[in-house]
Amino acid sequence: MTPKKKTTTAGERAETINEHLGRRVKKLRGDRGWSLDNLAQASGVSRSMLSEIEREKANPTLAVTYRIANAFGMGIAELIETSERQAAIQVVRATDRGQVYRSDKNCQIRTLSPLNLEKDVEFYEVTIRVNAELRSTPHYEGTREFLTVEKGSVRLESADDSAELSVGDSATYRADVPHSIINIGEGEAVLFLVDIYR
């Protein structure tokens, strides 16, 4: 006898989406190092509403959800997509500007892992301009980074330790302390960076 599938009511589905949305918004905000005020400014949604959403106490309108998604550079479907609905293959296109996490005179950071995943590992391509550096405050306790140099030369600093790396070199280091990647070469440095959260 085949067991009957449990049916889910519309109310239960909405509640699941709200819980997922709260976790997603909090995770995406934390990944970017944004405060609630930063996200409020980027999205045009009030700080108090964002706080309610993250605590899974609010049922945001479509317009509010759109503003939050837009602040993170993604569509509504990406923001609220749950793991059950994800395709077996997710492609990150080189032309997708929504994947660019940061771009300024010092560096460009492009996220190579899909933005809509709840994940403990994140993958980035980092380009550091000539005579520039990427300085980072401590991430969550236990976080480590793995770095491979694709082009150029850099000096890596983690707490009081440092090492110089050239093309093809890799390193792993603590990222729950102040850490920096400094371009010491004569041209742009291109790196592949993996963050692992524990």
Residues 170 and 118 in one domain: yes
The domain that holds 65 is classified in CATH as: 1.10.260.40
Spell out the alpha helix ranges (H) of 33-56.
36-43, 47-54
Q: Which of 61, 85, 109 is the last residue of a domain?
A: 85
Report if residue 147 sits inside a domain.
yes
Q: How far apart are CA 179 and CA 142, in angstroms?
A: 14
**99-141 tens-digit pLDDT:** 787 888 999 998 888 765 556 788 999 999 999 999 999 988 8
Residues 66 and 21 in one domain: yes
The pair of three-digit structure tokens given for residue 89, joined into one six-digit string: 């293959």
The pair of three-digit structure tokens given for residue 71, joined into one six-digit string: 């602040």
Residues 61 and 127 in one domain: no
Report if residue 114 sits inside a domain.
yes
Q: Residues 138-155, buried b or exposed e (16+ Cβ, 10 A)?
A: ebeeebbbbbebeebbbe
Residues 65 and 115 in one domain: no
Report if residue 129 sits inside a domain.
yes
Residues 151 and 172 in one domain: yes
Q: What is the pTM of this model?
A: 0.58
Report if residue 156 sits inside a domain.
yes
With CA atoms as reference, report the closest residue to 82 among 31, 20, 125, 159. Answer: 20
C-beta separation of 65 from 59 below 8 A: no
Comparing 66 with 14, the larger pLDDT belongs to 66
